[in-house]
Amino acid sequence: MYHTIMDQSHRARMITLRIRPRPEGSVVEHRAIVKAIERGDPSGARDAAKQHRVRARNALIPLLEQVGLRHL
């Protein structure tokens, strides 16, 4: 299941790479995840990672629909 999800996520990112804005917000989000890990805050890291994935999903789904893809 994990590998299927990772494969689909990778394909979505590759398909939308040229039509999405630069993922500058992702850098900030990744730093927040790393900082939580460095602080020894697993729930903070988990929450930051989840927020990142939700935001990324919400950004990619409309782009996939824009190019006519509903399934990867």
User: Which pLDDT tens digits describe the chain residue by residue (72 residues)?
Assistant: 989 988 988 888 888 888 888 878 889 999 999 999 999 999 999 999 999 999 988 888 888 888 887 666
Domain extent for 55? 23-67
Q: Is residue 7 part of a domain?
A: no
Q: Is residue 9 part of a domain?
A: no
Q: Is residue 4 part of a domain?
A: no
Q: What is the pTM of this model?
A: 0.72
How many C-beta atoms surround the C-beta of residue 47 within 10 A?
14
| DSSP element (H, E) containing 26 | helix 24-38
CA-based nearest residue to 56, from 11, 15, 19, 23: 23
Question: Domain total for the chain?
Answer: 1
Q: Is residue 36 part of a domain?
A: yes
Q: Is residue 11 part of a domain?
A: no
Number of H helices, E strands in the chain: 3, 0
